[in-house]
Amino acid sequence: MNTIEKFDKHVMHSYGRYPLVMQKGEGQQCTDENGKTYIDFGSGVGVNSLGFCDEKWADAVCEQVRTVQHTSNYYYTAVQAEFAEKLCNISGYDSVFFGNSGAEANECAIKIARKYSFDKYGRNRYNIITLVNSFHGRTIATLSATGQDTFHNYFFPFLEGFVNVTANDIDDLKSKLDDTVCAVMLEYIQGEGGVNALNQDFVNAVFELCAEKDVLVIADEIQTGAGRTGKFLAGEIFGKKADITTMAKGIAGGIPIGACLTTEKCSGVLTAGTHGSTFGGNPIACAGGIAVIDRLESNGFLDSVSEKAEIYRKVLSECSEVVSVSGIGLMIGIELKTKKATDVARKAFDKGLLVLTAKTKIRLLPPLTISKEEIEDGLKILIDILEE
């Protein structure tokens, strides 16, 4: 049996996959088992922030594998301490809980918000407002939080305690922000929902109204964080710092990790025994995370993300098939005039370019390390398909 046959026989069919068996990646390109190469405009789904197998990152990870690969969270490791310190310093937060994925980071945020409110106000202030068209993960709680009806199927009963508000509708927010609410959870740029950035006015209103009522703001920066927008956090672009920020995807450059960051206000909410994770804060993941932050902090790196984003946006906006280009930085949504995003993605794949889709848009989340030459080569393939 070949690889695809083995998959089909033994791996659950929970994904629609392209017929690509990835054999090796280097930088911003990868090769399949037949030797065909692809330019990567997706980085997994925004995970390989430093591209494939970046040398310094790989050295840091491999060295950690040969030193201590895991210990329970009953003990300390220097590498988790160092990653936590770097992550708090660059993000401006006080403390962090480590899990292994985005959904787990959001589960942690939900638990902190509810316990913060329970400790201060008692039992009946547990609702969390989330936005229509949001995406917060695939566990039962984070699916329940996700504001899209298509996700609320099959797995009944979903969790109660989530109330949806239409994104950018301040009146809707005001009408639902009552005494039962403990938090508002948002993505500054909805990723899976179609690469839609929130309006500054709406974000301002969320923070103002929440501050008045001691309602926490949770920013899900799982897709927008770790340099994707040209800042470490997208919140910096909106001039806001949420009480809780969740991260995952690109933060360790391809090793599974999730982080739930809080300000001082919430850093004492989780006490011994109230939350945990066997793998959370794994030393290998933390070593990868340190390598990512070191790179993001290196001279001019984040500015180069914004410069590359400009190239994408300029070229794409000049294409006759493109209606609009959304998102911020290297989180790019492309609205198409006549073509179907899935068809375009498939044609790009055939021609050696990996792109993503989000709803009816083409979505690009290239490695932050992509070169201007690779951007041009990849865009040439994409534009040719769009203008065909």
Ligand X SMILES: *Cc1c(COP(=O)(O)O)cnc(C)c1O
| Nearest distance in Å: CB 195, ligand X | 11
Closest CA to 163 of 138, 189, 145, 182: 145
CB nearer to ligand X: pick between 222 and 284: 222
CB nearer to ligand X: pick between 45 and 68: 45
| Nearest distance in Å: CB 380, ligand X | 28
| Nearest distance in Å: CB 36, ligand X | 27
Which CA distances in Å does 38 have to 51, 55, 193, 214, 382? 13, 20, 26, 49, 13
The dihedrals phi and psi of 199, each to the nearest 5 degrees, come to -75, 145
Residue nearest to ligand X (CB): 102
CB nearer to ligand X: pick between 192 and 374: 192
Which CA distances in Å does 93 have to 90, 123, 242, 265? 8, 28, 9, 10
CB nearer to ligand X: pick between 29 and 148: 148
CB–CB of 260/222 below 8 Å?
A: no
Closest CA to 170 of 212, 198, 134, 136: 198
CB nearer to ligand X: pick between 165 and 386: 165
Q: Which residues bind ligand X (CB under 6 A)?
A: 101-103, 106, 135-137, 187, 191-192, 220, 222-223, 248-249
CB–CB of 330/309 below 8 Å?
A: yes
Cα–chain center distance at 139: 16
| Nearest distance in Å: CB 222, ligand X | 4
| Nearest distance in Å: CB 106, ligand X | 6
